[in-house]
Each structure stands twice: as C-alpha cells, then as structure tokens.
C-alpha cells in the first residue's frame, strides 16, 4: 500500500487501530520525496524531523515564505539567501504543538509574485500531472508536493489566488480563510491587507482538520480576529438541500476553456439536482478586480520589500568599485542582484502608484474600487450562502507559455482575486479533468467567517464524485 497517497484522516485511523505506525508514514513520504523530488522540484530544502512520540504525526510541508525557527527561509529569492529566523511563525507553532512533522520548505514564486512558480531562484516547479506544465502559483510547490505524495499536508499563502489556483492546477483542495482567521505572524509579507495563510490537502476532510489547527486569535498579529474556532470537521455534510448557490454572470465569460466550463456547469447541475437553490447573481465591479489588485498589491509589495537592502540579513552585494562606493551604492547593487525580474517589476509599479502626483490617480482610486467590489459581494451574500465559479479560466498551461506576457499571466487569477480584495473565505476543489487529463478546479466563496458553510458545500460535492481520489502517476 502506498501510504503517501492516503489522506491524513485515513492514515490517522490506521495508526490508531495499530495497522501502521507514524514511522511507516514518514518513511513512505520520504521515500516518495527521493523518488520524484527531482521531477517536481517541489521542495527547496528538506528537514530531518522525526516526530517521535507525536500524537498527530502528519508530515507537512511549509511554503518558503513562512518562518521556521533556525531553518533557512528565503521566499525563493536570492536576496534572503542564508536568512534563518530566530522564531517560528504562529502556524508553525500550532503545527508543532499538534504533533505535525515539518518536512521542509516548499518552492514558490519569488516573494509570492506569480501564478506559475516559474520565478523561483531555485528553479521551476513542475506539475505532477504533466511535467511539461506549470503547477500554478505562487504556492506551486505546496500544491505539487501534495499532489505528488511528497507531503500529506502543505501550507500555502494566498494574496490573489496563490492557494486556490495551484490547487486547481494540481487537482487538490486549497482554502483561503477569511482575512484575520489565521495569524500572519511569521509570514514574510507580500501584500499585508491581502495575504492569508491556508491549507492545501488531498480532500475536504483533511482541509477542515488542518484549518482547525491553523485558525485562532494571535495577539502578535494586529489583524487577527478574536473569534472561537469551531471543529470544522463537524460541519461536513453530504446534504445541500436548501443551500442557496449564487452563480455570478460576470464569471462565465468568453475565453474560459470549454472543458472547464463544462465541468463547472456539471457541478451546478449537481447542486440543483440535490435540492440546492440556484440563482444568477451580478457582481458588477468584477471587471475592475484585476486592475485594482495589481495597484493595491504592488503598492504594498513595494513598501514591504523596502526592508531588504543588504544591511540586516540576507544577501549583501559589494559594489564593483567598493573604495569609492557609499551605502546607497550597496543598496542598489544588492537589490539589483538579489531580486528577480518579476520582483523588480512589482516594486517599480508599486513605487510609481505611491509616488507624489500619482497616489490619488492610482492607489486612492484602487482603494475606492476595492470597496465597490467588497460591497458587491456583501450584497450578494444577503441572497445566497455560497458563490460558485471556476477557480481558473483554464487548466495548467505549458511551462514558458506566459513568461513573456505578464498581463496574460496576471489574468490567470481573474476569478480568485475578488475574494482577497473583500477578505472573504474561498475554496478550490477538484471537479474533473480536461481532454489532456489535467485537473479542473471548482471555486466556492462564502461570507466572512463562514468557513463551516464553505466546507460543507465542498464536502457534499466531493463525496458524490471521485475526482479527489485520483492521483498523479509520476
């Protein structure tokens, strides 16, 4: 039996019954890493944790922008090479306290800037379903590791779709919690008003279980919300009768891959057949979401990345003429050599929209548009319980296909961005395969802190279909 292919729920049941040991699980996952790791490039570095005596021994990978005490964390960037944080992120504390076994750091787009995991300074991550395709991004390593059996669970971060889009491309489950539901303490920031840490798992049950571990108030994060954490696994229900499902007409547009559209329509038909109430809704300001996001996100990225200058930690580049160079020359040389092209592009865009004379024209206007997008969603949730859409307009694209077309790359997140702008929870789960046997993702969104409703709706669909049990054959 390939233990690495099983869910945490299955593994823990087998451990508790004495069929297998925690050591068997860890050994299976590590052997799998060695067998396929060079093919996927999902892990940047692995750890030697054993988890001896752990009560909840689930092998888990951590995205390389989340701090693990004493372990190198680089955001897949040259500029943070050698940085070892002196503390654990809040989510890592929770994972360790639960007995989880941290396997290592997962590859990602540099500083989470991307939708394909092609911008990592540690090399491209490959999709386990087709090694010639991208796994999505920026949490591509996290999704690929779970899909390939290199980790039972993974942690990602989602700023504009960076958990859900790679989950869709890799045929796994990924959830972006409500903003404030999971502490961001120890997450190296991209866009501070957008970032949220969340789980990537093989199925919805595991997702509910891992979210229950990660969620909760943390006084070290000023945006953390002090609300009780329910047992999300108790909300899972096969029945959706009476569930109000909103179908946003603005999300079903020209340009969606026909097989994606067909799979999502089949999901809508399922909910209708099971007694859910299907209604068309309008989110009229959706057309401004991508433009709004790429102003707000780049502005916040420019501000957050200003701290990486070669003084306190990471790379320090020596100017070519050190005797005549000053500290500004060192800053410039370090940032020129340390940041990749996409990071530089976003820093320049963000600096521009925040600059004198352009702040009102761009950043302030984007914040107003963000409010309108949030208001659209707030209004929609008065009439529906969940909103259903494709996670992405296409399945995984070929490596290199969009690297020279940033706008086309940015549009990969067109359906996921609004949830970040509004701070609401959203989940992606498998809903089929295209003609090339690449996974298709279904997205469900819910009102703030309605993760229980979201997981229940996802579970009902998942249990009626077999998409989540299919595994990539590397």
- 138 tagged catalytic: yes
**What is the C-alpha to C-alpha distance for residues 354 and 357, in angstroms, rounded to an integer?**
9
- Quick one: residue 110, left, alpha or beta (phi over 0 = left, psi -120 to 50 = alpha)? beta
**What is the C-alpha to C-alpha distance for residues 180 and 182, in angstroms, rounded to an integer?**
6
Write the CB contacts of 422 (distance below 8 Å, at least 6 apart in sequence): 373, 374, 377, 378
**What is the C-alpha to C-alpha distance for residues 57 and 59, in angstroms, rounded to an integer?**
6
- 272 tagged catalytic: no
Which pair of structure tokens corresponds to residue 382?
Answer: 């008065």
Buried b (16+ CB within 10 A) or exposed e, 406-440: eeebbbbbbbbbbbbbbbbbbbbbbbbbbeeebbb
| C-beta separation of 111 from 344 below 8 A | no
How far does CA 474 lie from the centroid of its chain?
23
Residues forming a β-bridge with 245: 278, 386
Residue 112: which of 45, 177, 143, 157 has the closest Cα? 157
Q: Tell me which of 63, 78, 202, 402 is the catalytic residue.
A: 63
Q: Tell me which of 77, 119, 138, 157 is the catalytic residue.
A: 138
Write the CB contacts of 163 (distance below 8 Å, at least 6 apart in sequence): 139, 142, 156, 157, 174, 175, 176, 198, 199, 200, 428
Backbone angles phi, psi at 220, to 5 degrees: -80, -10
- 96 tagged catalytic: no
Torsion of CA 109, 372, 363, 112, to 10 degrees: -10
Residue 154: which of 133, 136, 140 has the closest Cα? 140
257: exposed, middle or buried (Cβ count in 10 Å: 0-12, 13-18, 19+): middle
| C-beta separation of 55 from 99 below 8 A | yes
Q: Tell me which of 105, 120, 162, 224 is the catalytic residue.
A: 162
Write down how long the chain is. 474
Three-state DSSP state, 46: strand
DSSP string spanning 234-296?
A: GG--S--TT-EEEEEGGGS-TTS-HHHHHHHHHHHHHHHHTT-EEEEE--TTGGGHHHHHHHH
Q: Which residues are catalytic?
A: 63, 138, 162
């Amino acid at each position: 039996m390939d233990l690495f292919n099983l869910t945490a729920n299955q593994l823990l049941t087998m451990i508790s019954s004495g069929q297998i040991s925690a050591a068997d699980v860890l050994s299976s996952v590590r052997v799998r890493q060695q067998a396929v790791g060079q093919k996927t490039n999902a892990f940047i570095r692995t750890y030697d944790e054993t988890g001896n005596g752990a009560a909840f021994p689930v092998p888990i990978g951590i995205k390389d922008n989340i701090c693990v005490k004493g372990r190198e964390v680089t955001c897949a960037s040259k500029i943070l090479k050698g940085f070892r944080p002196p503390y654990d992120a809040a989510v890592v504390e929770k994972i360790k306290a639960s007995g989880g076994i941290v396997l290592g750091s997962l590859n990602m787009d540099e500083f989470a800037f991307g939708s394909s995991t092609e911008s990592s300074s540690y090399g491209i991550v490959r999709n386990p379903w087709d090694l010639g395709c991208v796994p999505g991004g920026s949490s591509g390593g996290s999704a690929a590791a779970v899909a390939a059996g290199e980790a039972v669970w993974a942690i990602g971060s989602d700023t504009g779709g960076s958990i859900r889009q790679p989950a869709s491309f890799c045929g796994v489950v990924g959830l972006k919690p409500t903003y404030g539901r999971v502490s961001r303490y120890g997450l190296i920031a991209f866009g501070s008003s957008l970032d949220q840490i969340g789980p990537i798992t093989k199925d919805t049950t595991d997702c509910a279980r891992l979210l229950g571990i990660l969620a909760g108030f943390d006084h070290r994060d000023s945006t953390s919300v002090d609300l009780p954490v329910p047992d999300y696994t108790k909300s899972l229900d096969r029945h959706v009768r009476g569930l109000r499902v909103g179908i946003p007409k603005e999300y079903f547009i020209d340009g969606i891959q026909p097989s994606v559209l067909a799979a999502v329509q089949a999901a809508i038909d399922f909910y209708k057949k099971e007694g859910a109430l299907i209604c068309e809704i309008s989110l009229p300001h959706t057309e401004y979401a991508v433009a709004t996001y790429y102003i707000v996100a780049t502005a916040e990225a420019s501000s957050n990345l200003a701290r990486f200058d070669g003084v306190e930690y990471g790379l320090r580049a020596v100017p070519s003429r050190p005797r005549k160079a000053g500290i500004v020359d060192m800053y410039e040389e370090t940032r020129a050599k340390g940041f990749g092209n996409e990071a530089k592009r976003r820093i320049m865009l963000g600096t521009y929209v925040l600059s004198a004379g352009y702040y009102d024209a761009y950043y302030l206007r984007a914040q107003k548009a963000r409010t309108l997008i949030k208001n659209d969603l707030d209004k929609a949730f008065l009439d529906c319980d969940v909103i259903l859409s494709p996670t992405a307009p296409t399945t995984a694209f070929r490596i290199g296909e969009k690297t020279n077309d940033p706008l086309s790359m940015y549009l990969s997140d067109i359906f996921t961005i609004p949830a970040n702008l509004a701070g609401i929870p959203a989940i992606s789960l498998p809903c089929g395969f295209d003609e090339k046997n690449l996974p298709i993702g279904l997205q469900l969104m819910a009102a703030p802190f309605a993760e229980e409703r979201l997981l229940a709706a996802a579970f009902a669909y998942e249990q009626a279909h077999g998409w989540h049990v299919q595994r990539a054959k590397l």
